[in-house]
Amino acid sequence: MYIVQSYPLAVALTVLTMLCWGSWANARKLAPASWRFELFYWDYALGVLLITALFGVTLGTAGHSGRSFFADLAQASHSSLAHALLGGAVFNLANILLVAAIEVAGMAVAFPVGIGLALVLGVILNYVAVPLGNPLLLAAGVALVALAIGLDAEAYRRQSRRAMQVSAKGLALSIASGIFMGVFYRFVAAAMYPDPAHPVRGLMGSYAAVFVFAIGVFLSTFIWNSLAMRFPIMGEPVPFAHYRRGNLRMHLAGVFGGVVWGVGMSLNLIASGRAGFAISYGLGQGATMIAALWGVFVWREFRQPARGVPALLAAMFLCFLCGLGLIVLARTG
């Protein structure tokens, strides 16, 4: 299988992860507004599964280093398979809860509480399990990225010209999403051997692990998304019959969104062998700022900024860039 040998390349792959994780939701805009997110999500889960399988049969079988994709799957222990599947199910629940939190509480609450909590919790858990890098630099970098997420949320709150009203339901959804989003990566990492050049029996490499993870995402969609359709946080229940009414464009939009996110997850795990799980996850969760870039420069959400918003956005991007720099240096510091 293909193995990343240099740290700069590993960092480049995690930057691509940020771009993918922060951009996949734009695929939602390729479908009509009447196409509910719950319907979009079925195709999204399929897209994640398809692209991880493609990575496995291409890069996962290339070269002579490590253990190939199919050999990895064949020798994986029940424990490793269960960890990766559980990671997919936990991520899926976190993702759906995050969307629900945004619907109920808005991004001004869901982002700093949900994504901020996920970032801090995920980095801590993965660093404790595999302590690679300078902990002080890593902690400082994570703190700056978390601050950037908070500044982004405050900018959205001011732009909406509404006072922040935090309902118990919205806060609970944000916290639950953050906890699940923070722990899912550790389940997947627990199924993998840390050094891709030295396979460990029973554990999997990045290509097999991300594919089994994607199976967990796909299968759990029949549970989590079915519940979301039947008991939506906002709006009316969505009958599954509506899914069959979608045209090719609607379905391809969801698949494309899943492919984009799945590329990011695959590259992140490929990079983790050289960067370490904590740094890979921390850099990847900078995706919130990529989403903010889309909002500022492409969708023009701040074309008539409220008072103080330009300063908040400038401070947000400065904290973000400094935080990423410290996280990158943590592996060499």
pLDDT in tens, the chain (333 residues): 999 999 999 999 999 999 999 899 899 889 998 999 999 999 999 999 999 999 999 999 998 888 999 999 999 999 999 999 999 999 999 999 998 888 887 766 787 788 889 999 999 999 999 999 999 999 999 999 999 999 988 888 888 765 455 578 888 998 999 999 999 999 999 999 989 989 999 999 999 999 999 999 999 999 999 999 999 988 899 999 999 999 999 999 999 999 999 999 999 999 999 999 999 999 998 888 888 888 888 878 788 888 899 999 999 999 999 999 999 999 875
Retrieve residue 308's tokens.
Answer: 């103080």
Place of tokens 């740290």: 7
pTM: 0.93
AA letter at 17: T
Please choose, from the candidates 53, 145, 156, the residue with its C-alpha nearest in 3D space to the C-alpha of residue 108. Answer: 156
The 10 Å CB-count burial string (b at 16+, else e) for 74-106 is eebeeebbbbbbbbbbbbbbbbbbbbbbbbbbb
Cα–Cα distance measured from residue 112 to residue 163, given in angstroms and rounded to the nearest whole number: 16
Q: Write down the domain spans for the chain.
A: 7-330
* Whether 51 contacts 258, CB under 8 Å: yes
- For the chain, the straight-line distance linking the first and the last C-alpha, in angstroms and rounded, comes to 29
